[in-house]
Chain A
Amino acid sequence: MTAGDIPITIGMPDQGFEGYRFVGYNLYDTLILWDLSQGETEADVKPGLATEWSVDPENHNVWTYKLREGVKFHDGCDFNADNVVWNYNRYMDEKHPNFNPQQFGAIRTRTTNIASVDKVDDYTVTFTTKEPDSLFPLQTSFIFLISQCALEAVGGDYGAYAMAPSGTGPYKFDKLTPRERLELVPNTDYWDETRIPKHDRLVLLPMPEATTRAAALMSGQVDFVEAPSPDTIPMLEGSGMQIVTAPYPHNWGYQLNFVDGPFKDKAVRQAANYAINREEMVAMLNGYAIEGYGVYPPTAKYYGNPFRYEYDPEKAKAMLAEAGCEPCEITLAISTSGSGQMQPLPMNELVKSQLEAAGFTVTLDVMDWNKLIDVALKGRPTYPEYDGINVSRAVQDPFSGMFRFMMSSQFAPNGSNFGHYKNDESDALVKAIYEEFDPVKRDELLVKAHEMFVEEALMLFITHDVNPRAIAPNVKGFVQAQSWFQDLTPVSVE
């Protein structure tokens, strides 16, 4: 793993989606799971601890979930409606006896729209939302359910529970040495027989240093490493390692400031997008990236047929001249490292040189990752001096990928709309999507939203990561899904 510590084992993991990938979906299940069994198309959701879910046709604020029967937690306790109600309340309600601020904060953005969770019978629950949300089921695919009896067995002490966690997932907890290793063993009673792990033990080791990960793999100490740096990949391949890659919903670009600087003019935003030579960027990354012309890679469900900003520096110059932005001075906030940031320094240098070739004057303000997150959270009211911020994002669901950047209700510091983009048309479109409960029509609107996002040049689009992983030659069966999450259960070691 690239994390510096073992992700927390008490339900909602920390360490970003890497924590979800290796601890969350291995120890635990969610009501709705992600289907990670193939790598041909973008991963979609599938039944998890819920077998079916539907919205009340009369009242679009009520969702009914049918739960899977006969599922047991690793500690032997039954999974049922009481458990779902208990878990959701412990995440949402600050007066709940098992409230934990870290857990509350970690999942808060996905629970804000839930008014209540109620048990109908032992295997049916209803969720009541505050506002209609046609995409609500997606939120429940990120919320992990832990065993209430296991937490009560340790008197509600999360520190003790972390050392003896119990879920319903395909792996059982075996051993945890904080900051060093987490050992998981197959759950041979897993409810989905096709996903009972085909290896004896899964050992997770945090190794934040890319060189160390490569060396550990090549010296035979580990079988599987995340995110080798592109320049070590030829060497890894040379020593017989398998390199797997796949597009996934990751977006590396810049959120822009729509109020204070030149990017308030749409023509300037579009000019910046025309100035980017994405082919050159991918080449610099040794081919381990995809050219980015939108929020999503083209294989994604909502990609559609958006306007395409082909590299055209002359056109960019002409547009800047017409917009009267000469020289067009912009300041970009960038980080030295960070989750999903790929190789921020050389990549930003390249973007700067490309923008400058088209008539921009670019100042890169380099800062530590925590500081950049702070800038993103507080937004342009606190940081009007930044015309763009280079925060790469997970764009797995439409809210994370698009809505939070295009809705005026998400103005920072109350949301992720860093640069205060406001457009009645886009607000209306998002509202229409939330209120469209016919999946086909809703998906058509989502495609429209993405096309509008691109046409408006709501971001400076650069590239998408392909998440390379390096695997020892004797490890078989791993299929890289087009997702932030991955299924390790089919992996076997020869």
Chain B
Amino acid sequence: MLNYILRRVAYAIPISLGVTIFCFALVYLAPGDPLTRLLPDDATAETIALIKAAYGFDKPIPIQYLNWLGRALTGDLGQSIQTNRAVADEVLIALGNTIIISTAAVILAFTLAFVMGTVAAYYNGGVADRVATSVSVLGVSIPNYWFGIVLIIIFAVNLRWLPATGMGPGGSEGFSIWEWSSVKFAILPVLTMAMVPIGIIMRSTRSAVSEVLSQDFVQTLRAKGMGEAAVLRHAVRNALPGVLAVMGLQFGYLMGGSILIETIFTWPGTGSLLNQAILNRDIPVLQGTILVLALIFVMTNLAVDILQTAVDPRIKRG
């Protein structure tokens, strides 16, 4: 097992490298220039050349990449072109903010979706199934930014129960998950974010559980007189590994924050950091954020694999 984990961690290295090369190339393929935002709109060629040299953008792209990589390996993700701030700090702060809402959204969405999916599978074709299926179809098909705006209009503008935007008067520094004055700012973003995975996870739970329920051993269990609750427990346990894989992907996806949701709620997380970096062509920030997110994604998948082994001894890793 330990061997397996080490090997998986080692795999993360080429994956992350690939991601950074890919993203470096994408930034340069995209039209526009990393320096456009730094310069006045009538900058002369002479000014542009001087600034390019000052930031090292006059060097060939592979050299720029290697320079960046060399520093990144020592933990130095460089400085933002736009703000001079250290990228590592920016990413960590943004990640902390995103984790607050994405963890809450994950807990909410996974619990609800799993319960609904199981109930729907058990009462296959019944009212509960139809209700749960409708919710999941809505969850998949409603654009989440639209849902977020609707929530804001209802709960912030009309009812005035919850604030519309931001992380509260103290900003991210003053945010505490133990105080209502902070938590109320997170409720709408969490609800909006939870809508994303709820449909997918509910559907996969439903199909996994109903598949297990149709298998022979379930009939055997019933035949030997086992109660329905216990049957369901067996079914769920058998369906879990498949569902876990879907959950893992969704979890990694939510950790990346959502550009749309974070922009609507001006939540200063990784999604809004990426969005700003893209708009400003702020390559160091873009690279650093994507690298960290890619690592998290790889690690999440690893954790899911290990978890799968734990819940289902039939899956052998080694």
- Using Cβ atoms and an 8 Å threshold, which residues of chain A touch B173? 177
Which residue of the partner chain, among A8, A211, A400, A416, contacts B264 with CB atoms under 8 Å?
A211
- Using Cβ atoms and an 8 Å threshold, which residues of chain A touch B165? 207, 212, 215-216, 221
Q: Is the CB of B51 within 8 A of A209?
A: no
- Using Cβ atoms and an 8 Å threshold, which residues of chain B touch A218? 156-157, 164
Does B50 have its Cβ within 8 Å of any Cβ on chain A? yes
Chain B: interface residue total (CB-CB under 8 A): 57
Given contacts A178-B90, A221-B165, A415-B42, A105 and B35 within 8 Å (CB-CB): yes
The minimal Cβ–Cβ distance linking A72 to chain B, given in whole angstroms, is 27
Given contacts A4-B272, A212-B265, A102 and B171 within 8 Å (CB-CB): no
**Distance of A158 Cα from B164 Cα, bound (Å):** 34
Instruction: Mark B240-269 against chain A: 1 for CB-CB distance below 8 A, else 0.
Output: 000000000000000000000001111010
Does B235 have its Cβ within 8 Å of any Cβ on chain A? no
Q: Is the CB of B32 within 8 A of A158?
A: no
Does A106 have its Cβ within 8 Å of any Cβ on chain B? yes
Q: Is the CB of A215 within 8 A of B44?
A: no
Q: Is the CB of B160 within 8 A of A371?
A: no
- A33-41, A263-271, A281-289, A373-381: which lies at the B interface? A373-381
**Distance of A364 Cα from B160 Cα, bound (Å):** 43
The minimal Cβ–Cβ distance linking A367 to chain B, given in whole angstroms, is 7
Q: Is the CB of B265 within 8 A of A377?
A: no
Q: Is the CB of A105 within 8 A of B38?
A: yes
Q: Is the CB of B36 within 8 A of A373?
A: yes
**Distance of A181 Cα from B39 Cα, bound (Å):** 24
Does A413 have its Cβ within 8 Å of any Cβ on chain B? yes
Which residue of the partner chain, among B41, B166, B266, contacts A393 with CB atoms under 8 Å?
B41
Instruction: Mark A28-67 against chain B: 1 for CB-CB distance below 8 A, else 0.
Output: 0000000000000000000000000000000000000000
Q: Is the CB of A109 within 8 A of B44?
A: yes
**Distance of A415 Cα from B47 Cα, bound (Å):** 11
Does A194 have its Cβ within 8 Å of any Cβ on chain B? no
Q: What total count of A-B pairs have CB within 8 Å? A: 168
Q: Is the CB of A374 within 8 A of B36?
A: yes
**Distance of A159 Cα from B89 Cα, bound (Å):** 12
Which residue of the partner chain, among A108, A180, A367, contacts B268 with CB atoms under 8 Å?
A180
Does B153 have its Cβ within 8 Å of any Cβ on chain A? yes
Given contacts A207-B165, A370-B32, A374-B31, A179 and B276 within 8 Å (CB-CB): yes
Which residue of the partner chain, among B48, B84, B153, contacts A102 with CB atoms under 8 Å?
B84
CB nearest to B156 among chain A residues: A219
Q: Is the CB of B166 within 8 A of A205?
A: yes
Which residue of the partner chain, among A4, A10, A109, A162, contacts B42 with CB atoms under 8 Å?
A109
Q: Is the CB of A106 within 8 A of B163?
A: no
Q: Is the CB of B164 within 8 A of A413?
A: no
Does B149 have its Cβ within 8 Å of any Cβ on chain A? yes
Which residue of the partner chain, among A104, A179, A205, A368, contacts B31 with CB atoms under 8 Å?
A368
The minimal Cβ–Cβ distance linking B100 to chain A, given in whole angstroms, is 14
Q: Is the CB of B157 within 8 A of A219?
A: yes
Does B275 have its Cβ within 8 Å of any Cβ on chain A? yes
When A and B form their complex, which 6 residue pairs have the shortest distance between CB atoms, in order from nearest? A370-B32, A371-B31, A101-B54, A416-B42, A219-B156, A215-B164
Taking A162-B83, A216-B166, A221-B156 as known contacts, 14 extra A-B pairs with beta carbons closer than 8 A to each other, sorted by chain A number, are A102-B38, A102-B82, A104-B51, A108-B43, A178-B85, A179-B272, A180-B167, A207-B165, A370-B32, A370-B281, A374-B31, A374-B32, A377-B41, A404-B42
